[in-house]
Chains A and B, each alone.
Chain A
Amino acid sequence: MGSVELDPKPARRRWRLHQSALVVLWVVMSMMIWVGLYWYIRRQSIRNVEEGLVSMCEERARMLQDRFAVSVNHVHALAILVSTFHYQKEPPALDQETFADYTARTAFERPLLNGVAYAQRVVHTQRELFEMQQGWVIRTMKREPSPIQDEYAPVIYSQETVSYIEALDMMSGEEDRENILRARATGKAVLTSPFRLLGSNHLGVVLTFPVYREDLALDVTEEERIEATAGYLGGAFDVESLVENLLSQLAGNPEIIVKVYDVTNASEPLIMYGPDLPDGFPSPSHTSMLDFGDPFRKHNMVCRYSKEPDVPVSATTTASGVFVICMLVGYIVYAAWNRYDNVKEDCRKMEELKKQAEAADVAKSQFLATVSHEIRTPMNGVLGMLDMLLDTKLNSTQQDYAQTAQVCGKTLISLINEVLDRAKIEAGKLELESVPFDLRSTLDEVISLSYSKSREKCIELAVYVSDGVPEVLLGDPGRFRQIITNLVGNSIKFTERGHIFVQVHLADHSNLVVEQRPEPGLNGHNDDSIPTASVSANEDFDTLSGYETADKRNTWENLNKFLSQSSYSTQNGSTHNSNSELVTLVVSVEDTGTGIPLHAQSRVFTPFMQADSSTSRNYGGTGIGLSISKCLVELMGGQIWFVSRPGIGSTFTFTAVFQRCERNGAVEMKKDTLDILPSCFRGFHAILVDERPVRAVVTKYHLQRLGISVETVGNVDLGIAALTSEKGKLLSGTKRRCIFLVETDSCSSKNGSIPFSSLEGSCKGSKLHLPNLFLLATSELEKERFPGFSDYAFIMKPLKASTVAACLQLALGVDSQNANEDGNNTEGPSSLRSLLVGKKILVVDDNKVNLRVAAGTLKKYGVEVQCVESGKDALALLQMPHKFDACFMDVQMPEMDGFEATRQIRLMEKKANEKVKAGEHGTEDEMAGMDWHLPILAMTADVIQATHEECIKCGMDGYVSKPFEEKQLYQAVAKLWASANS
């Protein structure tokens, strides 16, 4: 137990540790989920923002590009216009005025351009001519007269917005010169890198378009192009205003910062447009390529958010929500786990408690077993001593006392078994035996048991079994006796005066009893309505002792009815009775005790219930008896009920169903249960003087069981009269012995002992000897009231056939040998000795000690014993012919056990017998003509039915228990010899 309790503790601690580790792990995991989720949502939102940025940026870039392209196209158109009207017309159709007017009016077409101007290509050789034609000197960008160059590109036409560049040599500016050279070489629009424009001083880009004198084919060389160049059309893009214009058109998103770069030189991007604000936040940003139609230059646009994009609230809330859910789930799991843990712990405790309870139950059983064993052991001593006492020379009374004591002892032992069985009854495991038994002797045993107590209290205890009840019944005698013992025991306990009367009737003719079964509620309430005829007489009731009883049906009237009916059924109904296999008995136990208080009547059959707490104080007992009885009665297929009136008495009645059993079928009936009554009184005649008919019937019942015919008379005078008439019969020659039985109270009702003297007188007158006179006394005290009588003349109550027989035997001196004609009663060492003396017996047992003891015991009876220690040795000794009279064989032996040895012996005998029959041995064999059959008795320690059956099966003749018990040994041996002799 200790180890079981200690074990779970470290495991539990470990589990706690484990648990807290799990909790921490779970919290950490939840936090990780929280962080992960937060980052995920945040990244998702940033990506969205970036995508928005990209789309916005691209949109702006495309728009800017488109506008740019439109402007470029228009400049292209202007170039063609200049080419058409200035060079291909003679004289040129274009002058400054027209150009300015036209360009001003078409300025809406070029929203991005500050203005356009046309510069003519002038070679140095033509400079003077040109200057003369125009009337001004070619100047540089710095507004100084141009130094001598190879060629010049003075602006001849200009839009009004840029009129300040007229006459300026475009070739003088670094960017413009490069542009011009590139433009005329490619024939396409080219752009400068951004620079500060003249005039506005804004950042800007100059677009240059070449104008050729004639249309050129596509595949002309660079030199030819240069040669064909007539002039250059230029336009200035004011990028700053351009982009602002554009952005305002886009309903600009102030969150976005847009920058445009010229990235022709990738390592050194030149900013074309952009606020002078810091770069904003480096990320997110997007760069879109811009194509302004000049393959030489590369531009791009960079967009950024002006502010850091906000982390969406959902990132925090969702993640937090998930975190909370995680914690909740964790808590739920934890709580569930904890609960599970607790429940498991409780379960374990329960299991432990259950184990303890079971152990307690086992302990209880062991206690019961031990206690019953402890009681049995001294009881065995008592019984053994009684056995020994019975072996000594005793007179009949002493013998009866001793026998009674022995019977009581045996009943006590069986009672102990019954106590053990109580548990079985409660568990519903009790099974009833079905063995043949003699109901009458069973009842006698009940009387023996209650004998001393009833005599102590001067209560009359009587048993009556009606004639119709079969002698032998099939059922469970032990249980039946248990019920009656219980009821009688209770009655004795609660009765101080009067009687206890046990009656057994057949249910067939006690139908009225069953029909009249009263309502339990009526018990005790019918005090006013006791219509007993005899009440008025002399306050004496027609009951056994004259006291009133609770159940008025048990009066003489009713008994008489049963008697008449039973005699009827024995005469006529024997056929119809024996037809039915089942016999239903009605047993009633009537007392004149205190009765059961009304309030307690409802729980009489509840276990451990007594009428009130004072009951157990006054009377002892546990109160379980009646509940056991009820269970047993129900097991026997019957019912139990009672009638009780406080202060008057109780009558318990029950029915029980038994099987009919023919007398000859009861051969195997145990000798113990079949108490054989001496038959020496057959033919006797008795005159019974009793004023109470009920009591007379009981006495008559017992006497009749002894084979004595009875004549009942009401008083002594009538008895004497009857005796005289009997005498007449005697004279007529029938040799009947006559006895005269008088109830003590019936004779004292007259004038003392006078009737007896008159009896003596009347006897003396005749030739016959005085009839034996007996007084039926309830207590020893009554003996003193009749000083004239010897002890032998009293028959003490309660009556039972064997007691009566013993008393009569003693007084009449009937020869006991005569009484035991069938020899069944001669038990004892002397008879055992007579049976065994001089016999030669082989004892077989592998256990030397047992062998020695058995041999010693048998030697005591004058047996010539030979011992062997194994079955084989026994076989060797028992080779035919041998001189053994019997063999005692141990059952359990190594190598060859008793059963096998017996089988072999029987086989040998069979062979020998066949040989004898065949005449092979001839007459010289002294044993010839005799059948070989060695009586073999098994010796066994545990006498159970199975062993017994096996003994018989393998050819043994019987068995005795080890160590030897005298009585059993006698029975077995007697049976053996009897069968051998027959």
Chain B
Amino acid sequence: MASAPLKAQLTDLLNSMFAMDFLDEQFKELQMLEEASGPGFLAEVVTLFCGDAERIISQLSVLLNEPVVDFGKVDANVHQLKGSSSSVGAKRVALVCVKFRNVCQENDKEGCIAALHEIRHEFDELHKKFQTMVQLEQQIQVLDSKQMN
């Protein structure tokens, strides 16, 4: 099995992500779903999530840079991000989102900016790990399919 070390690496990565609270139960659900609905599902969801989150975060920074901040829009965006991150099981991002919404509801611009930084930080970390994960999965798939052939 050429893919075995890669698989071990993947498992390690995922375990560390669980241990560091990057991911929660919901991600396990997704993993189970992948078993059910075939390979690529997880990668697809994760890619979707990353793109989505990236878009929302850049939108948030635009919104917060404006002289008069429209907190309603900010809140809606954060809500979106919270929804998608909890769907993926990105626990830490979701938690920061909750925090963000709290400061946002208080119309606390400083707090919002701080929270945005935090979100960006968390997301960047997660994004890196997700990228590694997706790469590993793809490599495993390639190897597996080769083996099949």
Residues on A lying within 8 angstroms of B by beta carbon are 377, 380-381, 384, 846-850, 852-854, 856-857, 859-860, 892, 894, 941, 962-963
Question: Which chain A positions have C-beta within 8 A of B86?
Answer: 941, 962-963
Closest to B34 in A: A856
Q: Are A377 and B29 in contact, CB atoms less than 8 angstroms apart?
A: no
Q: Select which of B26, B32, B44, B79 is within 8 A of A892 by beta carbon.
A: B79
Q: Are B25 and A856 in contact, CB atoms less than 8 angstroms apart?
A: no
* Bound-state Cα–Cα, A854 to B33, Å: 10
* Bound-state Cα–Cα, A857 to B41, Å: 11
Question: Which chain A positions have C-beta within 8 A of B24?
Answer: 377
Apart from the given pairs A849-B45, A853-B30, A941-B86, 11 other A-B contacts in the complex at a CB distance below 8 Å: A380-B25, A849-B88, A850-B87, A852-B45, A853-B26, A856-B30, A856-B34, A856-B36, A859-B36, A860-B32, A963-B26
Q: Are B88 and A853 in contact, CB atoms less than 8 angstroms apart?
A: yes
Q: Are A941 and B41 in contact, CB atoms less than 8 angstroms apart?
A: no
Q: Are B25 and A849 in contact, CB atoms less than 8 angstroms apart?
A: no
Q: Select which of A846, A847, A859, A941 is within 8 A of B37 by beta carbon.
A: A859
Closest to B84 in A: A849
* Bound-state Cα–Cα, A163 to B110, Å: 127
Contact digits for B26-50, partner A, Cβ 8 Å, 1 yes 0 no: 1001101110110001001100110
Question: Which chain B positions have C-beta within 8 A of A848?
Answer: 48, 52, 84
Q: Are B87 and A847 in contact, CB atoms less than 8 angstroms apart?
A: yes
* Bound-state Cα–Cα, A892 to B85, Å: 16
Say if the beta carbon of B142 comes within 8 Å of chain A: no
* Bound-state Cα–Cα, A528 to B107, Å: 71
Binding site of B, secondary structure by majority: helix, strand, loop or mixed? helix
Q: Select which of A384, A849, A854, A962 is within 8 A of B48 by beta carbon.
A: A849
Q: Are A857 and B33 in contact, CB atoms less than 8 angstroms apart?
A: yes
* Bound-state Cα–Cα, A941 to B29, Å: 17
Min distance, Cβ B121 to any Cβ of chain A, angstroms: 20
* Bound-state Cα–Cα, A380 to B48, Å: 26
Q: How many A-B residue pairs have CB under 8 A?
A: 67
Say if the beta carbon of B82 comes within 8 Å of chain A: yes
Min distance, Cβ A895 to any Cβ of chain B, angstroms: 12
Question: Which chain B positions have C-beta within 8 A of A892?
Answer: 76, 79, 83
Say if the beta carbon of B80 comes within 8 Å of chain A: yes
Q: How many residues of B contact A (CB 8 A)?
A: 26
Closest to A855 in B: B37
Known: A847-B87, A859-B37. Is A852-B48 also a contact (CB below 8 A)?
yes
Q: Are A850 and B30 in contact, CB atoms less than 8 angstroms apart?
A: no
Question: Which chain B positions have C-beta within 8 A of A963?
Answer: 26, 29, 86-87
Closest to A846 in B: B80
Q: Select which of B25, B33, B41, B80 is within 8 A of A847 by beta carbon.
A: B80
* Bound-state Cα–Cα, A860 to B32, Å: 9
* Bound-state Cα–Cα, A850 to B86, Å: 9
Question: Which chain A positions have C-beta within 8 A of B48?
Answer: 848-849, 852
* Bound-state Cα–Cα, A847 to B41, Å: 16
Question: Which chain A positions have C-beta within 8 A of B41?
Answer: 852, 856
Interchain residue pairs with CB less than 8 A apart (25): A380-B25, A381-B25, A849-B48, A849-B52, A849-B84, A850-B83, A852-B44, A852-B45, A852-B87, A853-B26, A853-B33, A853-B45, A856-B33, A856-B36, A856-B37, A857-B29, A860-B33, A860-B36, A860-B37, A892-B76, A894-B76, A941-B82, A941-B86, A963-B29, A963-B86
Interface centre among A849, A894, A962 (most CB of B within 10 A): A849
Min distance, Cβ B96 to any Cβ of chain A, angstroms: 14
Min distance, Cβ A406 to any Cβ of chain B, angstroms: 15
Min distance, Cβ A407 to any Cβ of chain B, angstroms: 20
Question: Which chain A positions have C-beta within 8 A of B88?
Answer: 849, 853
Min distance, Cβ B35 to any Cβ of chain A, angstroms: 9
8 nearest CB pairs, A to B = A849-B84, A856-B33, A853-B87, A850-B87, A849-B49, A860-B36, A852-B45, A848-B48
* Bound-state Cα–Cα, A149 to B68, Å: 128
Q: Are A850 and B84 in contact, CB atoms less than 8 angstroms apart?
A: yes
Closest to B45 in A: A852
* Bound-state Cα–Cα, A846 to B81, Å: 11
Question: Which chain B positions have C-beta within 8 A of A377?
Answer: 24
Question: Which chain B positions have C-beta within 8 A of A850?
Answer: 83-84, 87
Closest to A941 in B: B83
Q: Are A962 and B83 in contact, CB atoms less than 8 angstroms apart?
A: yes
Min distance, Cβ A959 to any Cβ of chain B, angstroms: 15
Question: Which chain A positions have C-beta within 8 A of B45?
Answer: 849, 852-853, 856
Question: Which chain A positions have C-beta within 8 A of B79?
Answer: 892
Q: Are A384 and B87 in contact, CB atoms less than 8 angstroms apart?
A: no
Min distance, Cβ A961 to any Cβ of chain B, angstroms: 11
* Bound-state Cα–Cα, A381 to B25, Å: 7
Question: Which chain B positions have C-beta within 8 A of A846?
Answer: 80
Question: Which chain A positions have C-beta within 8 A of B83?
Answer: 847, 849-850, 892, 941, 962
Q: Are B26 and A847 in contact, CB atoms less than 8 angstroms apart?
A: no
